[in-house]
Every structure is written in C-alpha cells, then in structure tokens.
C-alpha cells in the first residue's frame, strides 16, 4: 500500500528542488564553492539548519531520547552548544580569512602542502562516513513508503542530489537547503503540536514538556517516570551512563560540531565576519526550533506508546480490524491501535505472544510483575507514526516522509560539497596542478561532485556491510573534535603555532581517536576496558586536549612561523584588515609556500 499523499509530497518537493537548482546555476568557481560569498545571513542560517539536521536528527533523535531519557541530553546539548563555539571562536575569523574550504585555511595558515593534504584526508573521511548514513536513510524512506526497492530509492536520491549539486554547486545547494528546511521543520512541528495537545492539553510542545499530563494535576514527567518504572524500565529522568561519560560525549559532540567541514563551509558563503556571526545565531535559532521540540516529542511518544499499546488485545491480520476492535471494546478491553497495525507491515514494530494470552505486554528488564516483554520496536517509529497517533489527516503523514527525505538530502548535499571541493580545489588546484585555469577547476569540481555522488550511493547501498557507517557519531564527531578543531582554533588564537605543530597535532588526534574508536567498536566491545570509563563516542574530547598539547609543545621547540603568516593571523582577527591589505575574496594572493617536506 502506497499512500497517494506521500507520493504527492515527495514528487512536489523534489520538483521544487529541481526548479531551484535550474534557477541557481553556478557560473564561477566562487559561485560553485561558496555561492558567490554573498548569501544573506538569514538565508544562510536557514540553509545551515537543513545542512546540519540530518536523517538522524529528524527521524531518530526523538526516538533515541525517548529510550535514553536524561541520557539523550548529550545530543541535545552537544549538537546545539557547538554553535556557540562556532560563532565565537571560528566562523567570523574563517570568513575573514576568505577562500573556499577548511583545508584551504589549514594549508595557507600553516604554509604547508603536507598540512593541507592531511586536512583533506580528515575532511574526506569524516564526510564519507556521514554521507553513507544519509544515503542509507534515503533508501529506507523510499523502500518503506514508496513501494520501490532500497537500491532504486538510493538511485532516485542520487539523481536528485546529482542534479542540483553538480549543476549549481554551493549556490544551488544553498537555495535548495532553504526549501528543505521549510519542508522538514513543518513536517516535524505540526505533528508535535497535536501530540502535545493529546498528552498534555498544551499546543506548545516545549510548554507541554514542563506541564501537567492532560486532565490531571500530576506533571507529565512525573507521570512518565511512574509509568515506565512500573513496567520495569529505568526512571525517564535518569541515565545508566556515568557523569564523566555524559560530560565527555557532550563535549566531543560540541567540539566536533564546530570542527565539521560541511558546517564550517556554510559560513564562507556570507559577505563578512559580522554576517558570519549573525548567521551562526540564525542557524542556531532554526536548529533550536527542532531541537527544543525533540525532547518533548520523545517523552510524549514514550508515554503514548505505553498508554495505547501496553495490555492491548492483539488483532491478527486475518481478522477484520473494525469488527474485532468493536468486540474488544464491548468486552471492556483495549484493542491494539490502528496505527500499530499500519506500521507493523514495515517491520518497525513486532509482537510475539510469549505467554499465549493474546494481550500485548510491553515490559522493561526489571518488570515488577515478572512478565517478559512481547513488543519490540525500532526507535524511528516514534517520529514516523506521530501524525497517526495524533489522528492527523493523511496529508500530514505523507509530509513526514518528505521531511525525512529533505533532512537526508540537504545534509548529503552539504557533505558532497566538502568532498568535491577537497578534491578539485585542495588536491588539484592548490597542491598538484596550481596552473589549472578557473574553467578547468570548475569542470574538475563538477566531475569530482559527480564521482562523490556515485561513491556516496554505493556506500549507502553497501551500508549494512560497512560497520563504520553505523558509528557516525563516534567517528565523524570524534575525529572532527580531535583533529580539525584544535588546529583551526590555535591557528586563529595563537600566532606562534607553526607548521610542525599543526601537522603533529592533526596526526595525533587522527591516529589516537581512530584507533580508540576502532578498537572498542570492532575488536573489544567490553565497556569495562574503556579508558577512565569513557565511551568511544566521548573519547574525541580527551584526545582533543592531547592534540592541543602536542601542537603547542611541538610548535615551541621548532622555529616560529614566518612574519607574513603572523601578519595574516593579525589581519583575520580584525575585520576588514585583509581587504585593506589588498586581499580580495577572489584570487587572493598566495601566501608564501615552503617546499613540501
């Protein structure tokens, strides 16, 4: 069964993205890499919101929080707090520096091709890990809701991204991301408002979250704590993680967010340092619209799931749902809800009648009544089934699928830009073929983007066989925090930081973090062996300090950077000085480049 409204929304939104792409074609490398350096701060903020909020934020986060309770706070604080670091420490200065990419800054600031190439490798690894997850999300959405196979779904998604990323570059991506933001935020908040009304009687989810349960004078969270502990789960407002681990994961996600290349490059697209600061504020506002709703949705969905599913009488597929449901109600029982039956077909929910009583027992590990759990569910169900749980019309349900696709495609496009510019600009133009004309660089960028789309699709198709894809949170954020953030930060705030320091700092962060995550994710999964009890998701924060220390130590025992570089750092700290000293965004004079060592 394919819902016509789902098809309607997916076709309409995809058509919209294509129209935007045709109207926003890139004419120059500046258009292609940074959308001409003149995007309005609010527009860029919105585009950053879509760029940032991935399939995981949209589909999985509320469900994760629903199961983790307080433990889910690491994502909420981590993925928003990073924007404070970005706005205060990186974005305005990197914009003032100009240029196109993160490795551009690293290569120029540290006057070294080696540093540039290592930064390219970090950016590529982080981006490919991340993009595979997005393409997988696209495949899941298509196969689950549009009646086509997983692989065909990925191919359709690749086709759409190919069209606007290869044709329009950053310019095309910026304006499609704005449209995608509108689609995804609408699809997320409308069902949230209605489910908030159902559970708490308050239409504002953020207020419902701290309000009372509908029709009672008990607070919603207190009631939820009672409900879940009665079934043998942990209290909702508690966590099984240690305080130190919560601290480290939150920090790794924050510093990782600030160091992620696909987020940073969005701030190269605005006109000035001042615009970059404002834009970071707008970006966080657009992100907060979803992120402050998510914990409410998680809590409401958990409550609603227990209310409607636990102790409900199951109705088999062979029976007529309506007549059987009426019979159960007449007997004073609770029939399994209709949305449950609808979603059961997707395999996201399953019921196994262990005690043969025909009633669905949903239980935690320490159920006081000793009964076994009979209901298993995929956490994504909480966002996907929300509109039906809240009895919303069919057109809203289709919109959620379009919203999930918008979230996945917009993030994938941002990552594609990092990948293609890393190859065409940083590897070719700035490292191996400096005499390349602008026209051939554009062509190279488009070819690189096309190849990146293909590779991303393949990674998505084989995602289930590639274990690292499932570890995006650990790998992408950990590596961004430990290898990219320290050298960008020191490059701006410490003039004395030199080439040797930067190279050793990046390598330290990269090798230690990668090794730790790989070891504890794939070789030894015993949590008792973790260093200080810190999980692989949080270790990036620890190795970030090591990377900072190594960078500073090595710089101090090697010669200081050339005067021209120290002047460059001085200039990017004071907005406007780069321009006064003759640097223009286009064709900035190359900084002195020492021989590759």
Partner 1 sequence: MSEEQPTGPSAANQAAYWKSTLRLTISLLAVWFLVSFGAGIIFRDALDNFSIGGAPLGFWMAQNGSIYVFLLLIVIYCIRMTQLEKKYGIRG
Q: Site residues (CB under 8 A) for partner 1?
A: 65, 70, 72-73, 76-77, 80-81, 83-85, 87-89, 92, 96, 206-207, 209-212, 218-222, 237, 243, 246-247, 250-251, 254, 272-274, 277-278, 280-281, 284-285, 288, 291-292, 295, 570, 573-577, 580
Measure the CA–CA gap between 406 and 188, rounded to whole angstroms. 11
CB nearer to partner 1: pick between 76 and 474: 76
Backbone φ/ψ region at 320: left (φ over 0), alpha (ψ -120 to 50), beta = beta
CB nearer to partner 1: pick between 20 and 76: 76
Shortest separation between residue 63's beta carbon and partner 1, angstroms: 15
The candidate with the shortest Cα–Cα distance to 381, out of 42, 39, 67, 26, is: 67
Q: Give the ranges where 24-149 is alpha helix by DSSP (H).
A: 29-34, 41-52, 55, 61-68, 73-85, 91-97, 102-109, 113-145
Burial-class residue 344 by CB neighbours within 10 Å (0-12, 13-18, 19+): middle
Shortest separation between residue 183's beta carbon and partner 1, angstroms: 22
Give, to the nearest 10 degrees, the angle between helix 102-109 and helix 485-493: 50
Measure the CA–CA gap between 222 and 227, rounded to whole angstroms. 9
Shortest separation between residue 228's beta carbon and partner 1, angstroms: 14
Shortest separation between residue 202's beta carbon and partner 1, angstroms: 10
Residue 140, both tokens: 């899941």
Query: Around Cβ 247, how many Cβ atoms within 10 Å?
Result: 15
CB nearer to partner 1: pick between 113 and 278: 278
Query: Around Cβ 407, how many Cβ atoms within 10 Å?
Result: 31
CB nearer to partner 1: pick between 138 and 213: 213
Residue 427, both tokens: 């590897």
Shortest separation between residue 573's beta carbon and partner 1, angstroms: 6
Measure the CA–CA gap between 526 and 478, rounded to whole angstroms. 19
Give, as one character, the DSSP assignment of residue 2.
-
CB nearer to partner 1: pick between 62 and 401: 62
Shortest separation between residue 278's beta carbon and partner 1, angstroms: 5
Reported residue count of the chain is 597
CB nearer to partner 1: pick between 90 and 427: 90
Whether 173 and 37 have beta carbons less than 8 Å apart is answered as no
Shortest separation between residue 285's beta carbon and partner 1, angstroms: 6
Whether 259 and 74 have beta carbons less than 8 Å apart is answered as no
The candidate with the shortest Cα–Cα distance to 453, out of 423, 486, 485, 491, is: 423
CB nearer to partner 1: pick between 43 and 349: 43
Query: Around Cβ 294, how many Cβ atoms within 10 Å?
Result: 25
Shortest separation between residue 41's beta carbon and partner 1, angstroms: 10
Shortest separation between residue 508's beta carbon and partner 1, angstroms: 24
Give Cα separations from 485 to 89, 148, 280 (angstroms): 10, 41, 17
Q: How far is CA 522 from the centre of its chain?
A: 23
Measure the CA–CA gap between 548 and 463, rounded to whole angstroms. 33
Q: How far is CA 4 from the centre of its chain?
A: 29
Quickly count helices (H) and strands (E) in the chain. 29, 4
Whether 122 and 259 have beta carbons less than 8 Å apart is answered as no
Whether 63 and 382 have beta carbons less than 8 Å apart is answered as yes
CB nearer to partner 1: pick between 6 and 250: 250
Shortest separation between residue 99's beta carbon and partner 1, angstroms: 17
CB nearer to partner 1: pick between 8 and 70: 70
């Amino acid at each position: 069964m394919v819902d016509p409204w789902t098809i309607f929304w997916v076709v309409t939104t995809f058509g919209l993205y294509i129209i935007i792409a045709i109207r926003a074609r890139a004419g120059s490398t500046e258009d292609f890499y940074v959308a001409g350096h003149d995007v309005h701060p609010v527009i860029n903020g919105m585009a950053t919101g879509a760029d940032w909020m991935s399939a995981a934020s949209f589909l999985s986060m509320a469900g994760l929080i629903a199961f983790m309770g307080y433990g889910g706070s690491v994502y909420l604080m981590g993925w928003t707090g990073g924007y404070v670091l970005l706005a205060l420490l990186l974005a305005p200065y990197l914009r003032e520096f100009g240029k196109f990419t993160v490795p551009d800054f690293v290569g120029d600031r540290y006057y070294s091709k080696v540093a540039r190439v290592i930064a390219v490798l970090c950016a590529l690894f982080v981006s490919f890990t991340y993009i595979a997850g997005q393409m997988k999300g696209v495949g899941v959405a298509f196969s689950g809701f549009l009646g086509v196979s997983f692989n065909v779904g990925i191919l359709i998604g690749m086709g759409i991204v190919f069209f606007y990323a290869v044709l329009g570059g950053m310019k095309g991506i910026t304006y499609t991301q704005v449209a995608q933001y509108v689609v995804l935020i609408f699809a997320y908040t409308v069902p949230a408002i209605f489910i908030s009304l159902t559970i708490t009687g308050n239409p504002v989810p953020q207020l419902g979250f701290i309000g009372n349960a509908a029709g009672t004078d008990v607070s919603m969270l207190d009631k939820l704590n009672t409900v879940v502990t009665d079934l043998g789960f942990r209290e909702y407002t508690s966590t099984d993680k240690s305080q130190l681990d919560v601290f480290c994961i939150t920090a790794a996600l924050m510093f990782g967010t600030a160091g992620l290349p696909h987020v940073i490059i969005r701030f190269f697209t605005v006109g000035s340092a001042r615009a970059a600061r404002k834009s970071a504020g707008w970006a966080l506002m657009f992100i907060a619209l979803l992120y402050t709703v998510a914990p409410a949705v998680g809590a409401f969905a958990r409550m609603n799931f227990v209310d409607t599913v636990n102790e409900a009488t199951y109705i088999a597929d062979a029976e007529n749902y309506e007549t059987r449901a009426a019979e159960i109600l007449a007997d004073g029982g609770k029939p399994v809800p209709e949305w449950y039956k609808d979603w059961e077909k997707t395999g996201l929910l399953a019921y196994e009648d262990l005690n043969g009583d025909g009633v669905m027992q949903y239980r935690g590990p320490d159920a006081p009544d000793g009964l076994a759990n009979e209901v298993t569910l995929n956490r994504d169900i909480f966002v996907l089934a929300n509109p039906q749980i809240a009895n919303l019309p069919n057109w809203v349900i289709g919109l959620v699928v379009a919203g999930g696709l918008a979230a996945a495609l917009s993030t994938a496009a941002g990552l594609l830009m990092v990948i293609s510019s890393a190859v065409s600009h940083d590897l070719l133009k700035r490292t191996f073929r400096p005499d390349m004309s602008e026209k051939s660089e554009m062509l190279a960028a488009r070819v690189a983007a096309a190849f990146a789309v293909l590779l991303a699709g393949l990674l998505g198709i084989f995602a289930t066989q590639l274990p690292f894809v499932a570890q995006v949170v650990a790998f992408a954020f950990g590596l961004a925090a430990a290898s990219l953030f320290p050298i960008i930060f020191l490059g701006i705030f410490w003039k004395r930081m030199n080439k040797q320091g930067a190279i050793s700092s990046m390598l330290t962060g990269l090798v230690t973090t990668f090794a730790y995550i790989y070891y504890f994710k794939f070789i030894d999964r015993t949590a008792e062996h973790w260093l200080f009890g810190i999980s692989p998701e949080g270790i990036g924060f620890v190795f970030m300090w090591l990377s900072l220390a190594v960078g500073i130590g090595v710089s101090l025992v090697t010669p200081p950077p050339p005067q021209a570089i120290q002047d460059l750092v001085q200039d990017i700290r004071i907005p406007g000085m780069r321009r006064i000293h003759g640097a223009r965004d286009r064709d900035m004079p190359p900084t002195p480049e020492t021989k590759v060592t």
